[in-house]
Chains A and B, each alone.
Chain A
Amino acid sequence: MKSTGMSSQRRQKARWSDPGHPVQLVVGLTIWSIWFIAMYGGLSVVCRFAPPATQHSPFTWLNGGLFGLTVLVVVLLLLLAWRCGRYCLRQRRAKHHDAGVTQFAGYVSTVLYLAAAVATLAGGLPVLVLSPCN
């Protein structure tokens, strides 16, 4: 058995932000986690110290802010999914040694970004129908 050549080692040293990098497998859901904490934490802090004047309606500045955050995060995740998906399609034609791994990571990451976007949207929808602090 021979150790692999320098060229493939250089290829392996991809940046973490590259769409085929395995870190991308967890970036989308990490963003979802941060969004989730921000929603729950933000809601709790605001309800404790500065609750909106309207207590029985979802149409408050707080709900608006939370929904705005949700939309922003969903858009971000969809953009990242698109970037990963495009990379994945390009990799299909790649011939080099580790194309299989990067394509695998790209494909899985794309779906995980989309799943994170769906989870964010689903989690954010209740702010349209429920009052914030009751």
Chain B
Amino acid sequence: MTEHESGVSPAVFKQQLARVWANLPGWGSLAAVNHGTIGLRFMVTGMLFFLVGGVLAMLLRTQLALPEQDIISAETYSQLFTMHGSVMMFLFAIPVLEGLAIYLIPKMIGARDLVFPRISALGYYCYLFGGIIIMASLLLGIAPDSGWFMYTPLSSSDYAPGPGSDFWLLGITFVEISAMAAGIELTVSILCSRAPGMTLSRMPLFCWYILVMALMIVFGFPPLILASILLELERAAGMPFFTVAAGGDPLLWQHLFWLFGHPEVYIIFLPAAGIVSTLIPVFSGRPIVGYRWVVIAIILTGFISFGLWVHHMFTVGIPQLAQAFFSVASMLVAIPTAIQVFAWLATLWRGKVVFRLPMLWISGFLVIFVCGGLTGVMLALVPFNWQVHDTHFVVAHMHYVLVGGMFFPLIAGLYYWLPLVSGKMPSALIGRWGFWLTFGGFNLTFLLMHLTGLLGMPRRVYTYETGLGWDGLNLLSSIGGFIMAIGVALVLLDLLLHFWFGKRAAANPWQADTLEWALDMPPAQYNFASIPTVSSRQPLWQDPQLAQRIASGREGLANANSGLRETYGTSPVSAQLQKILQLPANSWWPLYSALALAVVCISLLSRWYPFALLAFVVSVVLLLRWSWENGGHPAAAPLHLAQVSSEQPLLPESHTTDGPGRWGMIVTLLANGALYMSLLFGWFYLWTAAPQWSAPDQGPLPLWLLLLSGIPVCIAVGLFQRLCQRLAEGNDSTLQRQLWFSAACGVVHFIMVLALFMMAPLDYSNSAHDAVLQVILLYLLGHAALAMVLTALQAIRVARGYVSASLPYEPQVVKPFWFYYLAVYWLSVALFFLLPLGWGALK
């Protein structure tokens, strides 16, 4: 054992680090924020939901095994298939992959944690509580029954009067907070906290996949969040966004849903493909062929997958030319996927493949996913799509893509990283049995289901008459389903048992190349005792001694003297060392905030609106209180530079004008912008497509007041920009006064918008036009209020000494919010209030 630079022995130094990074004992572990803990919680919870979803699937297959069975009623069957789809997509697939990414990304990029650990914890609790709320509906027998895509008007009050749809809309939106949190957190962490030297061109492919997936979440989830809010507003407050008679259109739901829904397929696929791109080189013993081409394919997939959504709607009556645009895009997306498949095959071809257990699952993935991709190209063709629409062919295709494209790589990944998590090896024998039963059972179920669909069996029917040629195929599909279930059960058993009976794993048991295998097995909470400098895409293959140097504290940031959780902040492109990021430790705020949000959700479900409003206010207060412990607050970072523990002249984030917080704000605003654009899309869609859309010739709001109320926002933004600039130059004189003045401008603006809102003669329960205007006014009001409060808080923080010339960071974080609001306000005035004045001419 050698001493590291500070003269402390590695053992003592690691004890110091362990103390700083430890979770609280007992119930205190609920306050844990460390990415390792949170990532594992996500995965374990996701697997539990997977078991529920699997049981539901077995019930469905039992019912369909023979014709004319009445084991399950039509009503219950509808609940079961709705819940099966919803649980698998929203409570299993996305959260498990997010959990895997949360667990692995810091370890792969050479960081000690994600950059917003408390956001990770909030995301987990939102997911857990949202999932429990949704599952409660199943236990109470009032589960949603309109399909996992909740098409209107089937899910509207007229045809779904019970609370099932509300459970879905509120519960799923709650869970989506978690997905958004992970999307923002992962994006910023990958861009801002990679180990020094890990340039974009040296980043592990898995990180590229997760980066694009995270950005897809940021842009892809807001349309569904908006759609869920609008539908819940229609159900609860009678705002008729999807009701034809009042100028709405049920197809708007389909557009918004699939604007999310198709990218979601790739949000699920990309991390899984990232697992494949990580494992194949390891088991082939050589770097991946065509690294740059795989990056190109990932970025292409991320973009093109947003241009396919209408292929789910080919039968709703869209003009042929418009269908052709989406048909072509649907075929184009096969190209980047093919690039990846060829890169994987070439790597296998050029390497010496070792068929260990994870590789078996990768092989299964390649077979199944390629078949699913091919039927996907078939479905991209409009005439074929019309023929098999809503048949079991589509169900079979979807399962080939999702189970092949996500589940098989996921299990491969779990087997691969299991020794890292537990330090033990799984049983190869049970694992192989599990694989072959799953693989065989899956193909028996779903390969035959293609035929059932081609023979015309529609999906979502709870039974069928005998003699239609579907009997034998359905029976075999059900048998296959149960074989697959046995296979999955064996795999889960193996994963569970290995914690007790698994053999101790050797260091880096697969001879892998990425940084996570340089860690202890299982890894310490702080990951890296010292943070390495990376000079290759395969750091462990290039430098086999790296793990020892990291462990003995001979790399960077090898001290724990400050008593704070620290990691490196680096530049997004070149990964040049820029600053020290001081990360928050255990905190109860995420749990409290999520609990308050859960109360909001439950109050809305029980239609107890005053209490929901109260709980909402409590949630906001809690979140603002949480935000108080940020930046220059003593609980978040030392107030004076002398307290910073660093062997080098690096500043902590709070002493600079840029950092992950600012990036986080910008990425959050991108998501916010996607939500706003979705609302804008809805506005224009209803205008152009709703059969009974009607708008008044005169705008409902006084234009002069709209224009006038924009002036204080312009003044506030101008002031804020100026004070930020001066602060960056080291000038904090009159800072507090300027902040108060900005906040006051915000107050004036807020009051004016509130007056507009109060005086607007909007008949929101009888006109979709007025209902949309009501929503946009609420959106503007909420943002104006938040800008005002955040600015006032900054002024108070100046008084407390948390913001100053030496701590100039926080106003730089708030600034983009003001600019966003300014842009959104004027855009709204132009597009929601000025433009419609010209609609009369078009009518």
Contacts and interface: CB of A to CB of B under 8 A. Distances in A.
Given A105-B200, A126-B324, A132 B319 contact: yes
Interface in A1-50: 1-4, 8-9, 12, 22, 25-26, 29-30, 32-33, 36, 39-41, 43-45, 47-49
B307 A36 contact: yes
Interface string A78-111: 0000000000000000000110110011011001
Contacts of A100: 199, 201
B304 interface: yes
Given A29-B300, A44-B688, A119-B329, A3 B573 contact: no
A54 to B, nearest CB: 13
Interface stretch (B291-299, B435-443, B587-595, B791-799): B291-299
Given A44-B688, A123-B329, A131 B299 contact: no
Contacts of B296: 108, 111-112, 115
B328 A49 contact: no
Secondary structure class of chain B's binding surface, majority of residues: helix
A86 to B, nearest CB: 18
B648 A1 contact: yes
B46 interface: no
A130 interface: yes
A1 B556 contact: yes
B303 A32 contact: yes
B649 interface: yes
Contacts of A3: 576-578, 648-650
Contacts of A39: 325
Interface residues of B, number: 41
Nearest to B839: A49
A132 B292 CA distance: 39
Contacts of B689: 44, 48
A44 B299 contact: no
A59 B55 CA distance: 56
B307 A33 contact: yes
A40 B304 contact: no
A119 B332 contact: yes
Interface residues of A, number: 47
A1 B580 CA distance: 14
Nearest to A22: B573
Contact of B300 (A41, A98, A112): A112
Given A98-B574, A104-B201, A122 B299 contact: no
A127 interface: yes
Given A33-B306, A126-B324, A108 B295 contact: yes
A133 B328 contact: no
A3 B324 CA distance: 54
Nearest to B302: A29
Contact of B200 (A12, A29, A43, A101): A101
Contact of B299 (A25, A49, A125, A126): A25
Contact of A4 (B292, B303, B576): B576
A41 B688 CA distance: 10
B222 to A, nearest CB: 15
Contacts of B609: none
Interface in B175-234: 196, 199-201
A19 to B, nearest CB: 14
B648 A2 contact: yes
A98 B329 CA distance: 36
A134 B574 contact: no
A113 to B, nearest CB: 11
Given A1-B577, A1-B648, A26-B299, A101 B199 contact: yes
Given A1-B648, A4-B577, A29-B299, A126 B321 contact: yes
14 contacts: A9-B576, A22-B573, A30-B303, A32-B303, A33-B306, A39-B325, A44-B688, A47-B319, A63-B321, A98-B199, A101-B574, A111-B296, A126-B321, A127-B321
